Chain A
């Protein structure tokens, strides 16, 4: 069974804090993705990675960075959290060339006060 796990289900941080969201997959997938989901806006892609140390910007990368040092782990970093980054963050993974079949984690609901 494919498993994508995220480090926290709920997280509360203060404005200006540095925030790390971690994602781990156990299927040896090449691709990993970070999305945010907001009411009325659907899922929006922040960043994705197609290999270790490789990354590409998605549709809304501003205010975020990512790190992929190992194949199974993809981290999303908020350098200085702001209230407009309060959202549900979803991580996903897929095999290379099969971005149509992504496996999602349970999500992290981040609140920035």
Chain B
């Protein structure tokens, strides 16, 4: 399983775009990149997944360069309610891997 590295914490202000980068130098060919969000006192919630290039949904965008050794979660115009821990995970979940490995995540603090 590829190990991921992401910043421990980030600060932002309401209305700003926030980009959280995750490094996964040992990503394998069959691995997907998945991001989860966790609010205080709640379980994590799946927000976005990608394999290469760019993926966008109603919550976020995910940018993956050609070498796939990193990825960037982009949150447009954050609000106070986006304060949460964001986890980056890498794995081949359709194949041999059948479990998620969570790191310590990035604590995003959004201020007014």
Residues of A within 8 A of B (CB): 4, 31, 33, 35, 40-45, 48, 50, 56, 58, 90-92, 97-107
- Asked whether, in the complex, the Cβ of B98 is within 8 Å of the Cβ of A102, the reply is no
Q: How far is the CA of A97 from the CA of B45 in the complex (A)?
A: 18
Residues of B with Cβ closer than 8 Å to A?
A: 32, 34, 41-46, 49, 87, 89, 91, 93-94, 97-105
Q: Is the CB–CB distance between A45 and B99 below 8 Å? A: yes
Contact (A104, B44) CB under 8 Å given A42-B105, A98-B93: yes
Give Cα distance in the complex from A44 to B100, angstroms.
Answer: 9
Residue on A nearest B102 in the bound complex, by CB: A43
CB of A89, distance to nearest CB on chain B (Å) = 10
A99-B41 in contact (CB<8A): no
**Chain A residues with CB under 8 A of B98:** 31, 48, 50, 56, 99
Chain B interface mostly helix, strand, loop or mixed? Answer: loop
Considering only CB atoms, which chain B residue lies closest to A109 in the complex?
B41
Q: Which of B32, B44, B45 contacts A43 (CB 8 A)?
A: B44
Cβ–Cβ contact B43 & A106, under 8 A: yes
Q: List 24 interface pairs A-B (beta carbons < 8 Å), by A numbering.
A: A4-B43, A33-B99, A35-B102, A41-B104, A42-B103, A42-B105, A43-B44, A43-B100, A43-B102, A44-B102, A48-B99, A50-B98, A58-B99, A99-B93, A99-B97, A99-B100, A100-B32, A100-B49, A100-B93, A101-B34, A101-B49, A102-B100, A106-B42, A107-B42
- The closest CB in chain B to the CB of A102 belongs to B100
Tell me whether A100 and B43 are in contact in the complex, defined as CB-CB below 8 angstroms, given that A31-B98, A45-B99 are known contacts: no
Q: Which residue of A lies closest to B49 (CB)?
A: A100
